[in-house]
Chain A
């Protein structure tokens, strides 16, 4: 028996759904993988410090423990990232701020995604006057400068984490809604949606089972790119003093507290600034890599 030339194994592709193929392409992108790894690390750190904080376990120090004898110390072996004007350990405060930032990012995006997907799906699927009304509402919301809208709302309702999350979520869904609407407009005319209708499918089943999964890629990408937007907004609000209130540490208010001393103590704003920068950049790059992986639909089999 002669050995047959190796055929491409069918089993290798037998369970290769579009999601899996996108993931395989994502793995080949070094920038995306690195960014995703940093995001993962960040997530892990936030999770550990978050859970630790719930039980009163802090690393390396209690982020709110003041020690005026140790104030404004430059980074050294005891305080890796130095201390602030009240002698609080900057590293501890940064770690503590990480879970606030990520919580705000994830939950705000979850809120905006739910609203955006619902509005976009209804608008794109039904079309007609419903679409017109919903899209004019979107246009109206887009007329407001988002950051000042948030600032006003926080000033009126009071700055708490919940308020900030909900307000960011409530004003940032318009982009998602437009995107989802556009996807639905295209997909509802597709042959397989028509085929589903000829089989007697109900509209909700068509929306959720047939259209939404095909629009999943761009939705996931906007979600990932929405997270750093929310993190930056929260940092901006905290910097202005409208965000999460002291003594609770967040990346924004560490910079805000440190700005008075930064000529003498550069570490007070450089490290939290770096944290914001790295977090936001990683999410953006990971999101961009994800978009590229999802879009390469031409590259089949």
Chain B
């Protein structure tokens, strides 16, 4: 038997049944991810990147969503065929998520400590000293004075600290894959840079696979080995980050890269995505 990649997606198609007929949100998407490697999924709103990410642990509401075809293999196991119990173990324990809005992703009525403790008890019941483990996780994500901070409620932390706490919560389950769905979109630029630096360090230190979902192509360099560009539910370009960014093949990728403002360039207006290539198809 050949060795499985950590995550393999073959010809995945997902459809939403709506009142106005079915919408195919993800069409024939394929990619794979090795243990400890990183992938960026780039695309505009509605391109299917979040739907793809949520489908990895069947987090989409079904119905209206349904798998039309293809398969998702996590460590060799088919996610669409998985039993509910196994699925719950994979969620958090195998694949953990962090989301865009840290201030609303933490439950306002519990302290950081009790929220992380819950995650640890769920996926690592063998841990004896939960508090020590929480302190360790908070330390890992660069929260200063974690022994004190863990007793804080979410509203007592800044946005950057909240996102760090979210990442700590995800890490506390020791996932093999972390899916970061626009983790820096809601944060201001300096905090963005800090969180990205933190993610870069974590994936190096923990040898954890990472899928970074973003519409901001500028933040990918140096963080992800590979890149998948999604447009209207399809992967239009897929390859090494270096070569895709240097030498984009697909007109949409070119248009996306052209939007990134360049330092020192004298332009009167910011560029928006040029869709003219669509007409020539």
Interface residues of chain A, those whose CB is within 8 Å of chain B, are 13-19, 190-192, 194-202, 209-210, 213-214, 216, 300-301
Contacts and interface: CB of A to CB of B under 8 A. Distances in A.
Contacts of B173: 199
A191 B166 CA distance: 12
Contact of A191 (B99, B151, B153): B99
B153 A198 contact: no
Contact of B105 (A13, A195, A209): A195
Interface in B122-163: 122-123, 148, 151-153, 155-156
B104 A191 contact: yes
A210 B111 CA distance: 12
A68 B163 CA distance: 78
A195 B97 contact: yes
B109 A213 contact: yes
Nearest to B94: A200
Given A200-B93, A301-B155, A192 B104 contact: yes
Nearest to A199: B92
Given A18-B108, A200-B88, 12 more contacts: A14-B156, A197-B91, A198-B57, A198-B91, A199-B122, A199-B169, A199-B173, A200-B89, A200-B93, A200-B122, A201-B118, A301-B156
Interface residues of B, number: 34
B122 A17 contact: no
Most chain B CB inside 10 Å of its own CB: which residue of A14, A15, A200, A210: A200
29 contacts: A16-B153, A17-B153, A18-B109, A191-B101, A192-B104, A192-B106, A197-B59, A198-B57, A198-B91, A198-B97, A199-B91, A199-B92, A199-B96, A199-B119, A199-B122, A199-B123, A199-B169, A199-B173, A200-B87, A200-B88, A200-B89, A200-B93, A200-B123, A201-B118, A201-B122, A213-B107, A214-B108, A300-B155, A301-B155
Contacts, number: 76
B109 A195 contact: no
- DSSP class of A's interface residues: helix, strand, loop or mixed? helix
A167 to B, nearest CB: 35
Contacts of A19: 109
A213 to B, nearest CB: 5
Nearest to A300: B155
Contacts of B59: 194, 197-198
Most chain A CB inside 10 Å of its own CB: which residue of B89, B111, B153, B169: B153
Given A195-B166, A200-B91, A210 B107 contact: yes
Contacts of A199: 91-92, 96, 118-119, 122-123, 169, 173
A301 B155 CA distance: 8
A213 B111 CA distance: 13
Contacts of B90: 200
